[in-house]
Structures are given as C-alpha cells and as structure tokens.
Amino acid sequence: MILNELHQYYLRLRDSADSPVPSRFWSIEKASWEIEIAQDGRLISVLSLESSGTGDEKARKSIEMSVPEHDGRSGTALKPYFLCDKSDYVLGTGSLRHYEATAALHDEVLSGCDDEGARAVLAFFGRNDQVERLDEDKREALSKGGFAVFRLAGDKRRLHERPAVVEAWNRHCLSGEGGSVIGQCGVTGEQTHLARLFPQVSGVAGAQSSGASLVSFNFDSSESYGKKQAYNASLSEDVAFGAGAALKHLMNDNAHRCRIGDTTVVFWSDRPAYKENEIMRFVMDADALMRPAEDKATIESIESSLMSMKLGMPSPELDYETRFFIMGLAPNAARLSVRFFEVETFGRLADNFGQYLRDIDMVDVKGCSLRTYLLQTAVLGKTDNVPSTLIGSCVTAMLKGGPFPQALYTSLLSRMRCDHASNNPWDMGRRAALVKACLVRKWRCNQNTYDSEGRSLTVSLNENNTHPGYLLGRLFAVMEKAQRDAIPGASATIRDRYIGAASTTPARTFPSLLRNYQNHIENLRKKGSPGYYVTEKRADEIMKLLDGDGPFPKSLDTEEQGMFYVGYYQQRVDLWTKKTKEGEEGAEYSESDEKEQNR
C-alpha cells in the first residue's frame, strides 16, 4: 500500500505543470560547480554555482537541477555518474582511476551521438591536462566536494540538457535492462522488468549520508524462492523509480516533512490541496508558526484554521474529504524502518487534532506541537534523547484520537521526579499539560465516570476538584510560595528537594513540610509582608478539603501522582497571577518570582 500510494503521488507530480520530480533515469541533485569546455575539449573555466546571502560558508546553497540519475554509491568500488559528478571523477583531482572510469562511461554513452556537445565531452575526457589548467585555489575549493556539471562554451543550456545527449542517456539506460528479471509487479500487476534495487533516499536523520533504501533484502534469511535483493519485493522498474522519486521529493520539501526525535515524518495528499497541506504541516509541527521565516499572512490564516479546529468549527474553504498519508521513517543502517503509516481524511484529522488541542491546553503554557511536548520526556531536553518507542504510538494517538501510551505517562512522571524542570521554567507546564492530556484521554477512552463527579481536569485551576492527589499538589505549591516569599533569592526550594517524595509518599513528607510552612508564615507575619494572609487562606481552604482522620495518604499511585503535578502547576500559576477582579485581594509578585516567571 505504501509503495502504491508513493507511486501514485509521483505520477500526479510528474504530470503537473511545473513538475518537481524527475523523469525516469534522472534525479534531482545539488550542483555546486559548472565546468565550461570548448569544442575541442579544452577546459575554459570552473564557476561556482553556490549562493549565499550572508557570506557564511555554512549558509552557502547549491543549485538543485535534474541530472542523469544518481542511484547511490556504497563501499570503495568505482561508480562514476554521467555529466554530473565530483571533481575527482570529472577532473581527476584525486585518483586517476576515478577519471579513467568516468571517461569510459561517457565514451560508452556518447560514442554514437552526433552532437557537438557530445563530441566536446568525449574530447574533454580524452585529454590528461585538465587539472593542470586549474590554479591552486580552485583545486582546493573543488576538493571540498560538491557535484560539477558541464556547459559548452557559447551554449545557454548545460550539456546534460541538450536533446541529443538526453536521448543518448535514456537509450543507454534502456539498453541496460536487457538482462533484468521479468516478472509480475506486485503494485501494478503488469508483466515487466523488475527492479533489482530500490532507489537510495537521503535526508533521513541518522541514516547514512549517501542514502538508505525503503525496500531492501540483504540477508539470506529474508530471501525466498531463490530471488536476490529487491527481486523479492517484485516491484517493476517504473514503480520502484516512481516511489523512490516521490519519497526523495518529500524528504527535500520542508512543507511535507518534520522531525520528531529520531523519526522523520513525511505526509502527502491524494489530490492537489494547497491550503490543506499547509494546515497539515502545522498539525505535525504547530510550533513552526513561531518561526520568523514564515509569511505573516500565512501564519494568521493557519492560526485561524487551528483555532477553528480547537473549537470544533468547520471551514467552508477546506476540502474535508481529501485523504492524507502520514509515514514515520527511522534509520536502520543502510535501510529505512517504517515506524508508522496512517491514512485518514482531512476532516477526521481536523477533528482529532482539535481534540488534541483541547486535551493538551494548559494555562500559561506556550506551544502545542507534539514534537515539542515529547522533548519533555528526553534527558537534557535533547531531540536525540526522545525515547524512540514513544514516537509512533504518540503520533498515532494524536491522529486517531486514541489514548496516549502508558509508557509516555510513566516517562513524564520519571522526568518530573528527576530534574523538576529546573533548566527551563516552562518545562513544568508542558509536562503538566501532557500529563493532563494522558489522563483525560485515558478516562474518555475507558468511558470513566470521573468527569461526572465534578472533579475533572480543566485548563486552569479547578477549586472544585477534590481528588487527593490534585489537592496535595495544590498544597505543595502554596507551601513553595510561602517559602519563596519568606526566603527571597533562595538557591533551592522545596520543589527541588522534595517534590518527588511529596508526590509518591505524602504521609512521610508533608508533616515536616507543614512545620516549615508554619515557620515561613510566622516569619512573613512578623515582617508585615503584604499578601501572606492570602497564601495562608489558600492553604487552609485546601486542608479543609483533605478529609479523613489522616489527611495525607501513605502513598499515591501513578494516576494520583499525575493529578499531583497538574494540581501543583495550576495552583502555582494561580498564586503568581495578579488578580484584577474588583474587590478581590491578590497575591503580589515578589521580585524573584517575577524574574523566574519571565526568564
């Protein structure tokens, strides 16, 4: 199914007015150099095709163009490319063996071509003095890499674009199919030439830079009926090329690709749908809206669409019947592993993403991209440290509207206890938001009656929620606020030292914390600090809701621990939010609180 949909996507792109994909036997590559030659084969000049707006070497960009196919190199074997290759192959700046192999390929392709450009190329490779015509600076620049193409002096077209040369290359490639295996294609059902290898696809994070294959058979145990390599997949040459070209196009198009941890996600639609594709781009990576490179009008339009999704309101200008294909690819040596593949209509995706936005919504938390939230499960917040086992199931849950995996929930609790989000003041909020989403989805999918009891998790503080874990989290936030006010500028608070223990064994932790809390309140009272009585009042209200002879349970299970962190964060935000309602006494910011909040 995946290969069929990729092939159909390729056919649609190929037949479009400005086709972004190459024809068969051709590929889109980045060229850095242009070699100008005379009719007698003399090297006239080597020009750089790279451009840079800032002059920064890292920012320099090569030109993308359609060139004779590059089907990937592996190992140390010689493999020249036709009319577009690196300097050691086309100029002999490295080993002479590379230059001789390239000369042999061009002689084989162009020997019968009656074209002045073809004759000039053959004359070029018949000379051995090309490198000597380059100055030392040009040699050094060429040695840094990059593909070089050819141009005949006085011709506006590059040599590989000349009609006679194009025909010679296609004829050469077709002649090479004479000995290939004939069989029935598993996608089209036609009896035709089968592909021995699937095209190499580059750009997947973590995979080999030379490219990796989506279809690969490299072990005897994976082969059957005496077939070797990709013959086991029974794919025609046309389908293999089309599917590979479509995947290469997706990997090179930022509008159809994003990265989540070690997984590269690509998506495409079954029909031309510009606006729907733009929205899907931000569904997969909503935080891209914050990037300054985005067009302002586009950002406003997409934000409006995302808000409509969140509110469950359809838009008449969108086609909700458009089908989208979403695939997650992960590196596996020289092969690609498909983490997930989802097919859904745009309307269903919009409904499910709107539900995700409502579930993940949390007061004072910026961003809504699942990629950003999953970073909260990673050690040191690094993309490469996001647990790979979580990515596929979490993306599927978002797209399908199902529950998030339990492993995500336990990973969040573990990170909460380990580092308490000390490096980034917003991490605690994002983690609390994801914990909230895990819980509400679990209750919804299990048809739990928790919401009917008036204790559901909301976007901001819910003072009617009487769940013990939620109340204990609120109480912990109040005690932390009292400590910050009593000891301004303290290097560590009770959150840094006790939040892990308080969220798991409250009966052991809270009594001593309460004694310290009373000391802090007494200290604030003696100093006459404004607003201390609001903190004290809030703590008293919470203590009254903790019913029973022993208000502190011996331990909290995993669900109660999640409630603890949500209650803690929401109460913390509420305490630090200056009240504006008429007649309501408000807690004032302390200077240290304000610095931390704005950090």
H, E, C per residue of 461-510: CCCCCCCHHHHHHHHHHHHHHHHHHHCCCCCCCHHHHHHHHHHHCHHHHH
Q: What is the pLDDT of residues 320-342, one digit of tens each?
A: 999 999 999 988 877 888 999 99
Q: Are residues 424 and 435 in the same domain?
A: yes
pLDDT 10s digits, 2-34: 999 999 999 999 988 788 899 989 998 899 999
pLDDT reported for residue 193: 87
Report how far residue 38's alpha carbon sits from residue 117's, in angstroms, rounded to the nearest whole number.
Answer: 9
Dihedral (C-alpha) 311, 313, 315, 319: value to the nearest 10 degrees?
100
Residue 332 lies in a domain: no
3-state helix vs strand vs coil in the chain, percent to 5:
50, 15, 35
Question: Which 8-state DSSP code applies to residue 61?
Answer: B
Same domain, 312 and 459: no
Name the stretches of the chain with pLDDT < 70: 52-60, 74-75, 177-179, 226, 287-294, 420-426, 447-455, 548-550, 578-599
Indicate whether 380 and 496 sit together in one domain: no
- pLDDT for 267 equals 94
Same domain assignment for residues 426 and 302: yes
With CA atoms as reference, report the closest residue to 469 among 429, 431, 499: 499
- Note whether residue 116 is domain-resident: yes
Boundary-marking domain end, from 175, 201, 223: 175
Instruction: Examine residue 28 and state whether it is found in any structural domain, yes or no.
Output: yes
Residue type, 8: Q
**CA-CA-CA-CA torsion sign (115, 120, 123, 124):** negative
Regarding whether 105 and 130 lie in a shared domain, the answer is yes
In a domain, 39, yes or no: yes
Q: Are residues 126 and 38 in the same domain?
A: yes
Residues 379, 408, single domain; the answer is: yes
**What is the domain range of residue 532?**
449-599
Same domain for 441 and 356:
yes
One-letter amino acid of 525:
R
The domain boundary residue, chosen from 399, 431, 448: 448
d(CA 374, CA 342): 19
Q: Are residues 516 and 429 in the same domain?
A: no
Q: What is the pLDDT of residue 598?
A: 37
Provide the whole-model pTM.
0.81
Phi, psi of 106 (to 5 degrees): -70, -35
Evaluate whether residue 521 is within a structural domain. Answer: yes
516 and 408 housed in the same domain: no
| Distance, CA of 545 to CA of 464 (rounded, Å) | 9
DSSP 406-445: HHHHHHHHHHHHHHTTTT-TTHHHHHHHHHHHHHHHHHHH
What is the Cα–Cα distance from 105 to 342, expressed in whole angstroms?
43
| 165 and 32 within one domain | yes
**Count of structural domains within the chain:** 3
Q: Are 51 and 76 found together in one domain? A: yes
Q: End of a domain among 175, 210, 229?
A: 175
For residue 218, is it within any domain?
no
Coil, strand or helix at 340: strand
